[in-house]
Amino acid sequence: MTDVNLCYASVRALSELVSKKQVSPVEIIEAHLQRISETEPVLNSFITLLADEAQEAARRAEAMINRGNHLGPLHGIPVGLKDLFNTGGVKTTSGSRIFDNYVPIEDCTVASKFRAAGAILIGKLNMHQFAYGPTGENPDYGHMHNPWDPEKIAGGSSGGSGSAAASGQCTITMGSDTGGSVRIPSSFCGIVGLKPTYGLVSRNGLTPLSWCLDHPGPMVRTVEDAALTMNVISGFDPKDVASARVNIPDYTENLNKSIQGLRVGIVKEFFDAPLDAEVESIVRKAISHIESMGAEIHEVSMPMFEQSQAISGTILMCEAAAYHRELLRDHAEELYAPVRLRLESGLLITAADYLKAQQARALFNTSVNALYQTVDVLVGPSQPITAPTLLAQSVEINGTRVGTTAAVTQYSRPYNITGTPAITVPCGFSASGMPVGLQIAGKAFDESTVLQVAHAYESTTDWHLKHPDIAS
């Protein structure tokens, strides 16, 4: 296997090679570091690269495995963390130079779980400043670029995670999703991104954006890799007040089960919203493919869909402003202007408006939960467009100009409001060669079914096997 093949191999494939001693963790890390050196000048995925530390960790992993102590599928696998995940002894900037010298004394819970599983932290990934934006802009550490076309956005706020996974810089990356920040870059970069159920993956040690909307989740190249990652990072954490006490299954167990007879809901309003005609055609073909596998397709209605932007936006702006109030007071001039404006706007929203938004959220959740009485999952576009040009303030959808932020968050925000699982998987490419994503959402803590449907689609298509040709 060539070095590039190592960089694009799945967790399962790499784990089998390692366990059979056909490839060592040292070789895996060296291959990824070489890939980073070749592609990073174009992509700008990393804020902090831990080359020496990763090589030393790989040598330790190799020694353990040679002694017969193989910790599992993630042992020796390179992982990149969005730079709002605290890492002991490694700076965590949250995408801002204000925190360029902040070095946490201990790992966040997710990082600790990765270390315990033998995964190797290869670096901290670039992001929209304080995770407050869906496009992947960052004037402090440089904007993130899409591996399929560097003139296009990688998406945000976990843009570095999306570009790193799509380009073979990392096998597993982690993002956080408050209004779509795992699924937006995953869709634009042509990879798999899972927003788990709220409370399933600990937020302890992550810089918050919105306490009640934040969801950490994996960004990888295959559905099975997402499942294997969830096996490691899920579970109750007393350090997170929102952490849920639920049984954690083996998320790989149902991947190969048939979806014959599974009820799939197609939300009418998703297709009534601004949606590029080419993207719609690709997504409808993907849905037809799922139907051809035996799933039952039902059109359903999400009557409060049009209110979801206002509900999510009000809650997010208030909670972000509350958390960053002192930062805004002391460092306003150092903030990226669009981020500063969003934070300042949050201070203008009244407590009454916040409470009304939470009341509307309860009504919205009731209406969406009712849909799952008739269907098992909801399926639709991940994005209404392919990745727009970097720094574009608006996009054109079927001849109409729409604000970029509103456009790229319209399908993701509903599932942050409900706190239920949603995944995006590659389902095709536009005529210009840009990825299109299919979003699959499910009931609370029913990641297994969401992953099952996603894997059924992925295993009978080859979109996930296509990789960008990155010119250095």
Domain range for 104 is 3-465
Torsion of CA 180, 183, 184, 190, to 10 degrees: 180
Q: What's the CATH code of the domain at 94?
A: 3.90.1300.10
Peptide bond into 412 cis (omega under 30): no
Rounded to an integer, what distance in angstroms lies between the CA atom of residue 168 and that of residue 89?
A: 26
Q: How far apart are CA 66 and CA 94, in angstroms?
A: 37
For residue 336, is it within any domain?
A: yes
- What does the pLDDT profile of the chain (472 residues) look like in tens digits? 668 999 999 999 999 999 999 999 999 999 999 999 999 999 999 999 999 999 999 999 999 999 999 999 999 999 999 999 999 999 999 999 999 999 999 999 999 999 999 999 999 999 999 999 999 999 999 999 999 999 999 999 999 999 999 999 999 999 999 999 999 999 999 999 999 999 999 999 999 999 999 999 999 999 999 999 999 999 999 999 999 999 999 999 999 999 999 999 999 999 999 999 999 999 999 999 999 999 999 999 999 999 999 999 999 999 999 999 999 999 999 999 999 999 999 999 999 999 999 999 999 999 999 999 999 999 999 999 999 999 999 999 999 999 999 999 999 999 999 999 999 999 999 999 999 999 999 999 999 999 999 999 999 999 999 999 996 5
Query: Residue 471 domain-assigned?
Result: no
Q: Work out the end-to-end distance of the chain between its first and last CA atoms, rounded to an integer number of angstroms.
A: 22
Q: Answer yes or no: 82 catalytic.
A: yes
CB 122 within 8 A of CB 165: no
The per-residue pLDDT for 68 is 94
Phi, psi (degrees; rounded to nearest 5) at 58: -65, -40
Which burial class, exposed, middle or buried, applies to 359 when counting CB atoms under 10 A from its CB (0-12, 13-18, 19+)? exposed
What does the pLDDT read at residue 3? 87
- Whether 466 is a known active-site residue: answer no
- Per annotation, catalytic residue among 157, 158, 186, 210: 157
Q: What local confidence, expressed as pLDDT, does residue 324 receive?
A: 97
What are φ and ψ of residue 234, in 5° steps? -80, 160
Can you tell me the distance from the alpha carbon of 188 to that of 156, in angstroms, rounded to the nearest whole number?
10
268 classed as catalytic: no
Q: Which two tokens stand for residue 120?
A: 């190797």
Please indicate, yes or no, if residue 39 is contained in any of the structural domains.
Answer: yes
CA 135, distance to chain mean position in Å, is 13
Give the alpha-carbon dihedral of 182, 444, 380, 468, to 10 degrees. 30
- What is this structure's pTM? 0.98
Whole-number Å distance between alpha carbons of 277 and 431: 12
Residue 134 lies in a domain: yes
Number of domains, the chain: 1
β-sheet with 120-125: strand ranges across: 46-49, 120-125, 78-82, 172-177, 215-220, 192-195, 422-429, 435-442, 377-381, 263-267, 296-300
Q: Which of 24, 82, 176, 308 is labelled catalytic?
A: 82
| Selected catalytic residue, list 181, 187, 382, 448 | 181
